[in-house]
């Protein structure tokens, strides 16, 4: 099989049924561990006029944005089939696949996609997410690889 290799030691992730670790792209470093973190919180304490301090108010989980670093390959497609043309052409094909099948708005329901996180413990966790962007970073001039950041917004705050 051509393309990228990866390990599921830290777990695995699919979004809308699309594997985020495959021969055409993979998550980098501690990206999955970012999904283990607690949700952002909303709420403020109440200012009491004329009194020192504030009145503590309960906080609640809120939508949380998570950035997942990726490497997109021009060596092969998502199934491991080696690039039949140039690496740049395959890189383009892989980016377009992610754009159309993971990032583009769904146009249905609440617009979320189902994210399935399989942590190292092996028990799959499922949560709806909005994929709000794919930003490209540095890449090789020959199209062999391109760094990217996939931006997720988790309405409930975390994948649980």
Q: pLDDT tens per residue, the chain (160 residues)?
A: 578 988 888 889 999 999 999 999 999 988 999 999 999 999 999 999 999 999 999 999 999 999 999 999 999 999 999 999 999 999 999 999 999 999 999 999 999 999 999 999 889 999 999 999 999 999 999 999 999 999 999 999 999 8
Distance between CA atoms of residues 128 and 16, nearest Å: 9
Quote the pLDDT of residue 112.
97
Q: Does domain 12-32+60-154 have CATH number 2.40.30?
A: yes
* pTM (whole model) above 0.85: yes
The domain segmentation of the chain, as residue ranges, is 12-32+60-154
Quote the pLDDT of residue 1.
59
Burial 78-108 (b: 16+ CB within 10 A, else e): beeeebeeebbebbbbbbebbeeebbeeeee
The per-residue DSSP string of 33-81 comes to HHTTSPPEEE--PEE-TTSSSEE----EEE-EEEEEEEEEESSB-TT-P
Please report where in the chains the tokens 């497609």 appear, as a residue: 77
């Amino acid at each position: 099989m051509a393309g990228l290799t990866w390990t599921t030691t830290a777990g695995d992730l699919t979004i809308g049924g699309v594997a985020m670790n495959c021969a055409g792209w993979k998550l980098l470093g501690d990206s999955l561990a970012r999904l283990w973190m607690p949700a952002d919180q909303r709420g403020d304490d109440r200012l009491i006029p004329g009194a020192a301090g504030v009145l503590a108010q309960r906080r609640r989980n809120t939508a949380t944005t998570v950035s997942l670093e990726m490497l997109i390959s021009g060596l092969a497609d998502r199934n491991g089939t080696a690039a039949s043309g140039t690496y740049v052409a395959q890189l383009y094909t892989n980016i377009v696949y992610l754009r159309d099948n993971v990032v583009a708005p769904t146009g249905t329901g609440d617009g979320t996609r189902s994210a399935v996180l399989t942590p190292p413990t092996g028990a799959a966790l499922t949560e709806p997410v909005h994929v709000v962007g794919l930003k490209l970073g540095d890449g090789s001039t020959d199209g062999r690889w391109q760094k990217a950041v996939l931006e997720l917004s988790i309405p409930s705050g975390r994948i649980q």
